[in-house]
Every structure is written in C-alpha cells, then in structure tokens.
Structure 1
Amino acid sequence: MNERAHQLIQRLWDKTISADEFEELNTMMLADPQVRDLYYEYVSLEQGLKFHLSNASHKPGIPGLASFLLAMQSRRNRKIAMVSALAAMIVLGFALSLFFIDRSVDQINYKVTPGTIVQFSSSDEGQTGEPGVFKVGSTMVISQGVVELDFESGVKSVVSGPAKLTLYAEDRLAMDYGTGWFRVPKEAVGFAVTTKELEVIDLGTEFGVISDLNEPDQVHVLDGSVKVKSLRGQRQELVLARDQAVSVYPVGSFENLPAEDKYFLTSLPVVLPHLHFSFDQANDFVASNTIIGLQDFDYSYHGDRPMLENGVFGEAIHLNGKNNYLETNWPGILSNDPRSVALWMKMPKKRLVDEDADHFGDTIVGWGMQRDRNSFEAGIHSKWTLHMDYRRDRSPFLNISFGGVWYYADDIVLDNDQWNHIVVTYSGEKNKDGFPLVKLYLNAELIDVHPVRGAYVKPVSEQEVLIRTLEKTPVVMGATLSSESELNVREGMYLGAMIDELYIIEGVIGPEEVKSLMDSNKLPERN
C-alpha cells in the first residue's frame, strides 16, 4: 500500500493537511481504488461508520449473509453500481473540502418569495444551523419557493426550489439539486458553482445551472463566458460563451444544447411560481400573471372549441363532456415535489348509467404516467390527477390519485350545478400511516379525506408508498390519462363541466392563500 496515502489520510483526520496535500489525496483517491478502500478503513476505525461491520455484530444468523445478498444485487445492477461509485467519490470530495471552509466570511443576505420553505444545517458536527442564517459552512434546503441571494462580492443569484445549497466560501457555492441563475460582476470573476456532476467557474458573465436528480445537469450561458468541468468519468473541460449551453453525459463528456434564458427566474417573484388559466380572453386562456420556468409554454384544445361563459371571476370555460378538452406542453410538477391545485368548478348532476358503464369517471386536471394495472409497479405511483368517480345511486366521488394510491372525499357533493371552489395540496411528505400527506379544501373549508389502495398494490406495511410523478402526459384538463405509450389521453372519456380560475402552484399553500384565492382570485404577494 502507498505509504504516502497513509500519511495524507492521517493528516486529514488530524486536520493538519495542507491545501496542496488535500488536492494530492483527492487525485490519488480518484485514481486508485486501493486508496479509497484505505480511506474507508480509516473511517471505520475512527468513526465506526462501516455499516456492514456494525450491522453484522447486531444480527443473529449466518455471518456475512447480508453482505452476500448485497453482492448478488450488485452483480445484477453492475452499471448502476459503477455510476453510484462515481457519484460517491464526488460526494466524498465535497465532504473532504469541508476541512477548508473559510468561516471568516459573514452570512449571505437573502430574500424569499411568500410561501417559500427553507431549512438550514451546519457542516459542524452536531449543529443544525442557525435559524434563518446562511453563511459559509452552512446548507440551505429549499423545499418549495424561490430564494434570492446577495453576496458581498456583488454576485446575485435567484434559486428556484426544490434545491439544496451549501456555501463553502464567498466565491464557491455547491448546488446538489435545484435551478439557479447567477449574475457575476467583474470584481467577482472566478465565482464557482458546483453540482454533483459539473463545476462552473465564472469568467465574467451571467449564467444558469440546472441540477436535476433524475436528469443530466445543465449550464446555460446568457452573457459573457464560463469554464465548465465535468466531475465524473472523462472529466472533460471547455469554455462556453454567450448563448451556449451543455448538459453532461454520465461518462463525463458534454452534449451541446440551445441556451434558454426562460428556464431561469432572474428576479424574486411576488408569489410562488404557478400556472394560471383565467379563461378571460377568447384568444388566450392563460393569465398574464403566470410564472413557470418553461420555454415557449403553449396549450391547445381538442375537439369542438370550448365555449366561454360567465364564471366566478370574468369568463369560465365550458367543457361539453363529449369530445373536447385542453392539453398543454408543460409536463407538470414531477417527482415528489410539493404542489397545489386550485379551481372553481360547476358541474351538473351526473350518475353512472348501465349503457355507459365503461365511462366510470372523468379527470378534471391531471398529468404524468398512467399505468396499466396488469403491469403496475406497486411501489411507484407515477401520476397526479383530480377526477370524478361516478356512481349509480349517489353523487360522484372526488378522487385525488397518485396511481395505485388515491384519496376519496365521501361527504361532499360537487354535481349540484353550483360553483364550488376546490383546492388540493400535496406536501411531498407522508402522514403517520405512511400515506402521502394530502389536504382538500372545499369553499375554503378543510375536508376530511381518506386513502384507498388498489387491490393490485401491496399494503403500506409491506412496501413504502413511493410518489414519483413521471413525465408522459402533459398537463391536461377534462380528459382521462391513457396508459398506452403512444397516447396521452383515453378516447371518449371527457369531463362535462365549467371550470374557472385554474391554478397549478409549485408548492403547498395554506388556509390564508386558499381563502385569498376564493375571495379575490389572488395569491398573497410579497411587500
């Protein structure tokens, strides 16, 4: 074994290692698996973090059985394991870099959009982070909303959640995930943003970074230039100029992309990002106050052109229940991200009839991947819909569905030919029973809902309910999602109702916002 590696790792634990020695150790660990193994041995000896050792000492039965099962699983997923190893090294590099955090810099000033949820933690062992303080050595997790950062150097950033940021120095920010816009003045050239996949070093510019846990990370140069370096595989480097953009391949090379400034917010919005259909203009159903990070948002109607009639606020759309619906090009709020949907609906009496027994329900609004029950992956729930389930002998049930798990509101009547204000929120969290944390408001009153699990889905006690809304059918209104790969919606299943003031909000709203939407058709704004 390399004696030099022993020396450097020991100095690391003693906190006597120099910056040059740290770089030397980092290079050795990336290049030599034996050096990495040695580091983990030190971790095990010094801190007791070697999981399989501690786990084996507490479990009865055949020694090493858990390790054997893990090894078999690793053989079946060799490619995934290799990528995970690279990712682990990148994370390790971040962990090592904490030894070099410059804590002399004061906290960073920041502002947030109303409804933004942030939490702070510290790199210091045992520290949770000062409430409301973002300073060198601390981490900010943005569960929802938007944060504007103002650095003492003059750097300005606007970050849209969900996001995780760690400040290593005044001129060095790590973004594990999130979407961030950065404007760097000449005095702050060299400012760096690092994700788990790439490093962006400013050369005097304005740029945006997208770090997605499920997609390759991207950098878009909006002005000036940056140096970009991949942190995996080939570790390719290049310089990007204005109107250039790249994403990083898993092997560490880059793919050219068109630079898009509309992916990024450049100032702090007064409300949470959202899509708002007002239906007040015949030539444009979308309200002017819509805020979503989507290039060239568009929508279209299918079938007969929907009629506009008097609504609660201005005009409302009338879907005929026969052949028309709206479809957008926005994939909606994906993964496990928090979300709220608010709308007014006026629906005539509707019952399930024998001659139309296959038409058992209609979607109000929805998006994501509808799965066929025969091929349903029981642990993954990949759509998000609000729809009406019809019955022969009673009013329809409002169904809030993630796929194989959904919520019913039993005691409300929505087919009363009256305007009703409906708000549904999902926080991205689970309740005490392991189900998604969902709230329903009807005319600003909180309504009890209860979860239902499909017969083809394992009980929660046997398998975790994993919410991961996947991209397939974009946001649609008035049509039922299709499980067929080549179709977005099912033919012949269309909602007959009037809809007004539809909001799809990137985050969870509370009773105050719900009441404001119902009473004044506005989200409370930042002063």
Structure 2
Amino acid sequence: MDRDRLVKLLGLYFDEGLTEETKQELERMLLASPQARELFWQKAKMHSMLRQQGQESWGSEQGSANPSSQKQSPPADTSDVFSGAVDRDHHPTLVSLREHPNAEERGVISKNTLTRVVTLLLAASVLIAVGLQFYSSQRSQIQVAEQQATGDVPRYRQRNVSETEQWVALLRKAVDVHWIDADSAPNLGEPMPPRRIQFESGLIEIQTTSGALMVLEGPADLEIISDMEVRCRQGRFRVDVPPPAEGFLVHAPFVKVVDRGTAFAMNINPNEETEVHVIDGLVELVSPTDTDSMRELRKGDSVSVASAGAYRDIPSQSNSFPSESQIRSRSRGANVVRKLAWQRRRDALTEHPDCLVYFDFSRSELGETVLTNHAVHAEKVADGTIVGCNRAQGRWPGKEAIEFKSMSDRIRFSLPGVHTTLTCITSVRLDALDTSISSLLTSDGDLVGDFRWWIAPESADSARLSFERRERSLRSEVQAYPSSPVFRRSQLGTWVQLAFVWDGEQGTVRQYVNGNLVSNEPIRSFGLDHARMLRLDKVEIGNSSLIGGSYDAPVRNFNGRMDEFAIFGSALNPQELLAYYDLAKVSWSNTAEDNRWSESANWSLGILPAQHDVVRVDRSDREKLIVTDETIGNLKAIHIGTARGEKGEMDILGGTITATVNSNSYTRVGVAGGDGVVKQFDGDVTVNALQIGLDKESQGNYEMSGGKLLLMRGVKLSSSSLEVGSQQGVGSFEISAGSLESRAGVTLGYGDGVGTFRVRGSDASKIRIGSFGSFDGFWVQNTGSTLATLIDDRGVSTIFIDEVGNDGGGDVTFADGALLDVGFVGESQVGSWDVMKWDGKLNDHGLRFAEGVDQSVWSFQFVDTDSSGDPDTLRVTAAR
C-alpha cells in the first residue's frame, strides 16, 4: 500500500476534490487493504468528532442560501447516520472486517459484499463532510476573544474567494505579528484555502482540517498546500500531529519530513542547514531528490541537514521551540496591554463633548436589566434597558458583552430630538446570518428621519452593511445606502468594529468596517432640510420590532454579541474611527494646530501616546508633528506615513524619543503604501530597528542633520538594524551631522526594494554599524540600491562596519548591480577619500558607479590598509 498516496486521496475525498479516475483509485485501495480501511476509519472519525464539537460548542446551523426567519439546527437524521454508519464498534459489517482483516481472501465475505462496505464508508463520509462544512462555518469562533486581542490584526478587506473554494486550515491565534503584506494577511478565525503566509516576527498558531497543529515563529514563510502537506521556506515551528493526521508532510530545503506520530520541531533558515528535532513519536526524513535516501528519527533525536541526504546528528533543542502553551502565555500578556489601551480610549470617549451614548456593557449597580450610559456630557438621555439577552464574554477575557439569540432579545433607549450629524460605533460578533436582516440599530420607524442600520445577506455566503432612512411619514418610501458585500459566512464568530457617519452638513453617509471605509454616498434630496436630519426618539439595539405604521419590514433578528456601543452628535473623521479600532495605535491629528506632541488635543480622541502605544503620523506640511524638548517613551513603535495615499511628516528639534518596549516592533517611515518623512535636527532617538520605505508603493526618507540615532535591535527577517527600501518599497537615509550607531547591520534594497544611504559632507561625528551590544555589524547592498557620498572641503564622514568579539563578522556585500554615487558639496576637488571601512570580509559581486558619475574623473578601489592581505576599505578618487 502506498500510504502517502492514500493519505492524499483521502484528503481529496473529504475536500470533495476527487475526479472519477481518482475516486476509482481510492476504491481499489480500500478494497485491497485492511490498513487502508483502518486509516479511512480514523479520518472519518476525526471529521465526525469535529462536527460534534461544532454542534455542542456553537449551537444552531448558520442558515441556507434562502435564509428563513427561524434559526435552524443541524438535521437530526444526520446525527443518527453518523452514530450508525461509522460506529465500527457496533456496526456488524465493520465488526466483521475488524475481526477478519483478510476476510475477502479467506472467503468470509465476497468481493461484492466488500464493495458494498466501501460504498457504505464513502456514503458515510459524505455525511461527515456535511458536518465538516457546518464545522468550518462555526470553527472560527474558537478562542476568538483571545485571538483578536493579541494579533497585529490586518485592516478589514473583502477577499474575493469562490464559494466553492475548499478550506484546509484555520488561523487560530496571532501574537505580536508583523505581516510582510498586511493587505493579503489571513484573517484571525477565518478558514483558509491553500495559500502562502509570510510574516516578519511574532507567533501564529494554525490548525489544518486533518487536525495537525502548528505553532510558527517569525520570520517565517509557510505555504499551506493541503490539510496534510505544507512547504516551509523559513521559520521556527513545532507541529503536533494527532492520529488522523499521521503522514503529515513538511517540505523544507534539502529534506522532506513525514510525521508518523506525534510531535516534532524544525528550524529553517535560508541558505543555512535545516534542523529537525523529534519531540515525541517517529518521523521519516526523505531527500527531495533521492527517495531512497531515507532516515527515521525517534523521540529525542535531532539532525541538521546541509544538503539533500546529508544528515548530521546534533544535540536536541526541542524545548526551545514555540509551543501552544507559550502562545497562550504571550496571549494573556497581550490581553492585559490591550485592555489597558481600551480603558484609556473608553475614558476618552466618555469625556468627549459630543458623546451622547456610551455603553460598555458592564454590569450596573441599578440592576441586571439596566445598561448604564457612561457619556459624561450627555443630557436627557436615560440608561438603556436590556430586554431578554444573556451576559457573555466580549473581545477578550474579562470584557463583558451582551448576547442576542432569541427574537425578543434587544436593548431599548431614547435619544430625544433631531440630529443633523451623527456617528455610531459598535463592536459586534455576528454568529449567524439566519434571517433576511441582522438588525444593529433601529429608530421608531414611522416618522421622517427615522432609520435602521443592518446587515443584509447578499447571497448564501456574503452580506452587506446597509443604512436606510425614512423619507415620508407613514409610507414605505425610504432611501437605502448599502455597501458592497463586506461579510463572508466563514467570518462568522469573529469580532469586528462597525460604524456609520451621517453628515448632514456635508451631505454624505459613510460606513466603516474595522476603521476602513466600505461605503461613501451622497445624501439624496440633500437640498431639503428634512433630508438632513435623523430621529432617535425610540431606539432598539439588536433584534427589533420597531416597524412603524405601514413601514413594511421583514424580521430583523441579530444573532451574535455586542460589547461596546457609542453615539456621537458630530461626524467623527476617518482617522478618529481608525484610532478607536486600532487600540494600540494613537494617531496624530494636530487638532490644536500648534504641531506640539505634548498637547493632548493634537491626538485622535484626545489621547496622548503612552507606553506600549504605536504612534501613527499621517499629516504633513503645516500639519506635521514637531518634537521639541519632550521626553517621550517608552513607546512600542513610531510609524510615519502609514497608508496608501497618506503622507506623514515628523521634525525632531530636540528632546528624547524611545520606542523599544516591544522587541518585535520596529519604527517605520513609509509603510503600507504611505509616504513618510522624518527630519532629525537634534535630540536623542532610540528605537529597536528602523525600516524606511517598507513595502510596495511605499516611500520613506529619514534625513539626519544633528542629534543621536541609536538602533537597538535587528529586524528579524533581514537581521538588519536599518532596512532602507524593502519588499518593493523605496527608501532613503541621509546623514550630514550627528551620530548614527546600530547593534546589527544595514540592508539596502531588501526583497526587491530600492534603497539609498547617503553621507553628506564630513560633519557626522559617528557612523558605526554594529558597534552597540554583542552583535556584529554588516553591510548588504542589493542590485539597484545606492551608496552615495558627497565630499565637502574637509572630506567625508566614513562609515565603519564593526565586528564584535573577534569571532568573525563585520562583512560587506555588494550585489551585482549595486551602485556607488559620488560628488561634491561645493567646489570640485582632487584627491582620495575613504567612504567605508570594515572589520570583516569583502564580498564584491559587481559594485559599479551610478548613472551620471563622470568616470573620466572618478574611480574607486578596495584597499588593504592594515596589511592583512584582504581589502578593508572602499576609497574613491577624483583625478581632476
């Protein structure tokens, strides 16, 4: 029996991917081998257990392509079939097969009977697959609060995925993750089809549908091929494999690892040896080029693989790899930080002068049915009244929420008067799309200006966010403002922040998901005064029966949870909405118009940045951020120019800035398509690492003409303290005075980016790469990236690449096509100048002058200045 082939066929079968030819092949294998039938039983049982867990944990089925007004439970007859058709301890035919593993050959049963058994097995698996489909829609709820509290959650986006696409894995957790491309990063809790996952740092936990559980530490590059097969190009990870996933395959450089139960770990670095450590059970190592070169490893065994088939025993380090308990521990710590950030924002919201209603869903001293309105400046607003509803856990442990299940569950309150502008923000977890409408907020319904805000299914797999306003009293005329489809059924059970902004002054109605705009439409009939206003005389949150007069509305049943709700009497801007969604990020607004860091009004929601915050700056020119004499720290990171179409600018005139509290967080100038500029004239700046022009369509510039800049760590993916031009971004670093010191190296043009490092004149007091701490410095300059030097009348400041500890290091690498640009500040001169000196080795693959350099005047040489026999200096010469 070809076990690997059988495992692949079974995976295809349960994912409904068999062709007629492969189906016949699977049937032949099941007929021929009792071991094959045993493996089929194991996988079938696993799928059945998953279905049962989905039933017990998550309640009723999610609905169908034609949603009804009632919640539906999984068909009872399906459970009956499960309990009979695949219960091998009681089913007489399967008992016979177990007792007579070679029954066909011994004449106990005929081939026709065995064929019918196989058919029965396959038919049962169809029903199991139905259960798995149910499970896939519900599985995203598992530990959602913990997941979303701990990840660097990507901004909301709609994935264009075919409804027939099969999912093979689930992203269960993500802690302090920095995705290489946030726009394409997987959503927490959402089932994933085969795909590639790349991130710089942090921890993630992935489980395949076969049950294999992987904990992966960045920098990492993992491709999920199927529920039984992955390819890892980089990363440290542990895999725990239950019996149904036996045979789980990992492709790595130089080796394939086949699990035979139950746990192993791997350390994979590009261009280095691949390590395999067996924690428990047995694995098989197979060369990717020579299938005869196989080796078995058992518990406690560890090997390093330098090339195909070249195995070298090494000491076991299995305890050093990330584990499920480790990710849980880090999740708890991240939850604490997130809760503190939320509390600060909650306090700011309740103090906001325009806040009319704020419910945090905490228990009230006035009784179980009272929902306290915490808006400090609200007038004439009573507390909310809870009708039905149960208490539940919110976005993280300890955060309370209200759960809406039955059609009578709702919250009622009143907000008298009419409102020209209104902003509503709420955090919800939608658990089902089982009616035509999932109502979020509904006003009375029979007067002009009454409205409703809801989630409306678009198809069996997607739904829209929609806002509707009554245009005529006691008639059914309404104006609808729907978004494009923004919800997928596979996202059920995940927390999202929703918002609408009714701006009667500007004549627009906007809707947001997770701080990102999903619809923006002009208010129709805007010229009429009555078209500007909204009414909230009677309001219901969640399920609603407010239909008013002849206002014909279908059932509006919200099935899910809500753990925060706020209404403002003004139109919050997009930056404020995004600031409240990204709890760990504080956005610069310059509302006070004085450019001062220390003025709280200059920050979105009036919140000054504090420890553990990420500062985000997307204002420029007259709105830019200016740091003078402040002492700032200890932040998580500073991001300047953070989104496509946004430009951020920061001037540092003095003071002290520290952003090192989280070792995995880096300061970034130009990220996610943004344009960032930092000008440092003075002051002391200390950050973990600095990335300039981080990714596609991003541009970043850091100009240093004074002060001190200390880079404390290395970006994990490239190991550099300074990355200029990464992942198709464009970046530039220039120093003309002050001092630059780093712990690790410099990389120009990482991942197809383009970077420039420019030294202007001779006034920089220090440019030392790798001089801080115990790491070695290095210089890596990739194709198309530029080292530029401008010489003044006293020469030029030299770049030093330091080696620490006399153990090798301090190397310099110029790729083929790396560029050298030279020129003068002021008058032309004749002479030679040392541009760079290094302690280690030179790897020159083709450094050349940049276009525009007059090579009849200029030349460069690699010079041996210490008589070691190896070049240690890059020297440029001007002949005339």
TM-score (norm 2): 0.23
- Structure with larger RCO (C-alpha < 8 A, sep 6+): 1
TM-score (norm 1): 0.36
